[in-house]
Amino acid sequence: MDLNTYLKNLEILVNVDCGSNTPEGLQFVTNFFQKLYKDWIVEYHELNGINPVLVIKNRDVDNFDFLFIGHNDTVFPEGTAAQRPFKIEGDIATGPGVYDMKSGLLSMYEVAKEFKDSSLNICIIINTDEEISSLISRELITEMGKKTKYALVFEPARKNGNMVSERKGLIKYEITFNGKAAHAGIAPQNGINAIVEASHWVLEISKLQNLELGNSINVGIINGGFGVNTIPDKAIIKFEGRSHDINHFENIEKTLNRLKENPYVEGINVEIKEIGYRPPLVLNPLSKELLDKFEIVKKQLKIDSNWEKTGGGSDANFLGILGVGVLDGVGPVGGNSHEASEYLVISSIEKRIEMVKEVLKMFL
């Protein structure tokens, strides 16, 4: 590979604002990769008009040996690229999305192009909504995953060089409580207090947390009311749960249904909306087979790297639940994703690309 070209392309990508809700930037980076893969079969999926998805194949077949996946979107607002554009200082590159995961997308291309004409059937997905739980692209990812044996997610490696074998699943909810407004002094008996009901739910939901088992609950947002002299007629809470055990999510759902059927405040109306979901990613037999091949190659290339279980989710979660052999974090090394101090270790780029190539050669 030509590292100079890689870094020039990385500069182009990093210097474009492409948060998950930035249509122009997302279109630019999508077009960039559409041109890069011009010699492949490229399917452009518009979906919601904001978050396009590319499905790229080396040949027109129904089933694939490998699925590669990565995302174009970042978490940063418009104007971030102008405030802190791509920069190289020594072995470190910085800029919004340089690590998570513009570099991983370019590494994915460097790997893929070597195997375009090989005996391996390869599918590539590049989406633009991963940072908002892949709400738009989830169905398409699942559809292609059902046709795939193995998958590699080119999210970046950890700052210590470790890759990811398992991820917690997560589920996000928005709960809306509709009560009835009334004057708190003159006619409090006529009101139905939405905040009281919401508060009861917060306490009951939070009881499901068990950190010893790795089951977390976080009610991160609560809104309601507009004055202490008025019974609040509306309240909203948003929360998430995370776990390696899918039973945690089933318990959350059962609890929400129980609370809705047995309200604490008489007359309240409750709306439950799921706003994000990723099933747990666990190490299945095919994943273990793939991991063992990585272990062989790591020793050959003298790469110091272990495997981690992490609480964060990625598009790998959608694939593992299907029985696909999937590993994550096979991109280059860096750190501080989602932060202004996000960075990429340039010297890790070629080594990690070589590692993935050598693993794929073992399947030829």
DSSP 195-243: HHHHHHHHHHHHTT-BTTTTBEEEEEEEEE-S-TTEE--EEEEEEEEEE
Number of neighbours of residue 271 by Cβ within 10 angstroms:
11
Which pLDDT score, from 0 to 100, does residue 322 have? 95
Per-residue pLDDT reduced to its tens digit, 32-91: 999 999 999 999 999 999 999 999 999 999 999 999 999 999 999 999 999 999 999 999
- For the question of residue 73 being annotated catalytic, the response is yes
**What percent of the chain clears pLDDT 90, i.e. is strictly above it?**
97
Q: Do domains 3-167+281-361 and 169-278 have the same CATH topology?
A: no
Strands 182-183 and 269-278: unpaired
Catalytic residue selected from 73, 100, 197, 233 = 73
| pLDDT tens column, 178-223 | 999 999 999 999 999 999 999 999 999 999 999 999 999 999 999 9
Class of the domain covering 3-167+281-361: alpha beta
Asked whether 64 and 112 are in contact (CB, 8 A), the reply is no
Domain ranges of the chain: 3-167+281-361, 169-278
- Residue-averaged pLDDT of the chain: 97
State how far the Cα of 278 lies from the Cα of 241, in Å rounded to an integer: 10
Would you give the DSSP letter of residue 346?
A: G
Q: CB pairs under 8 A, 24+ apart, for 42-47?
A: 45/140, 47/136, 47/137, 47/140
Q: Which of 17, 65, 110, 130 is catalytic?
A: 130
Mean pLDDT of all residues in 136-155: 97
Sheet arrangement for strand 41-45: 41-45, 53-57, 122-127, 64-71, 148-153, 325-328, 163-167, 307-310
CA–CA dist 252, 245 (Å, integer): 12
Class of domain 169-278 as given by CATH: alpha beta
As a whole number, mean pLDDT of residues 264-275 equals: 97
The Cα 43–Cα 45 span in angstroms is 6
Res. 313: pLDDT tops 90 = no
Instruction: Name the band, by pLDDT with cuts 50, 70 and 90, for residue 95.
Output: very high
Radius of gyration over alpha carbons of the chain, in Å?
23
